[in-house]
Chain A
Amino acid sequence: SQTIHQWPATLVQPVGSPLSLECTVEGTSNPNLYWYRQAAGRGLQLLFYSVGIGQISSEVPQNLSASRPQDRQFILSSKKLLLSDSGFYLCAWTVSGGSPYNEQFFGPGTRLTVL
């Protein structure tokens, strides 16, 4: 069966520090991968998605970036964190191609607090 992992589970970082969040998927190949952020009172915001290694689409211009160095690994990064980067970060995957009825499967999330 498929499993999605995210780490760390929680993170407290000072303003201006770098960030690296990791997401890995097991039990499937060539998934579509997604990064979302939930900020207080702002719902679920899609940040990036990827349909293959090295292929990244950015949804929201900001100081975050994403990379997909391996088929089932998706990394969210920042060189300098802002207070506004605080939130709950969720990674998700779905089967590539195929039916539009395919749902996205979500990881457990990372709680980031920038102080």
Chain B
Amino acid sequence: AQSVTQLGSHVSVSEGALVLLRCNYSSSVPPYLFWYVQYPNQGLQLLLKYTSAATLVKGINGFEAEFKKSETSFHLTKPSAHMSDAAEYFCAVRKAAGNKLTFGGGTRVLVKP
């Protein structure tokens, strides 16, 4: 079954430091990959999605993700963390012909001043 694994349920970064959130997927074919962000007591908001047009995908709020087929990864990065980046981040994958998304367990980001 299609699945995603997010390494690290909690990540702590200093303001201004690099944010790196890891996501690995299990698939024998290029999947359809998404990153979402969830602020406290809110719904999920799309950050970016992989569309196969480019391996480096730019999203909102300065985030980007790189699709690496050889590593079956789609890690999310932001060069400089801001206090407003404190949230939970979810990686998700859809099967080619499916209606459903499978979500990773989520990574909660804490930004220290």
- Interface residue ranges, A against B (CB under 8 Å): 32, 34, 43-44, 46, 49, 51, 59, 88, 90, 92, 94, 100-101, 103-109, 111
Contacts of B105 in A (CB 8 A): 43
The interface residues of chain A, by DSSP majority, are classed as: strand
The interface residues of chain B, by DSSP majority, are classed as: loop
User: Would you list the 9 A-B pairs with minimal beta carbon distance, nearest first?
Assistant: A106-B43, A106-B44, A44-B103, A43-B105, A100-B32, A103-B46, A101-B51, A108-B43, A109-B43
- Interface residue ranges, B against A (CB under 8 Å): 32, 34, 36, 41-46, 49, 51, 90, 94-101, 103-106
Query: What is the bound-complex CA distance between A21 and B90, given in angstroms?
Result: 24
Query: What is the bound-complex CA distance between A90 and B98, given in angstroms?
Result: 20
The residue of chain A having its C-beta at the shortest distance from the C-beta of B48 within the complex is A103
Contacts of B49 in A (CB 8 A): 101, 103
The residue of chain B having its C-beta at the shortest distance from the C-beta of A41 within the complex is B9
User: In the complex, are the beta carbons of B100 and A109 less than 8 A apart?
Assistant: no
The residue of chain A having its C-beta at the shortest distance from the C-beta of B99 within the complex is A32
Which residue of A92, A101, A109 is within 8 Å of B32 (Cβ)? Answer: A101
Assuming the contacts A43-B103, A49-B99, A51-B99, asked whether A103 and B34 have C-beta atoms less than 8 A apart, the reply is yes
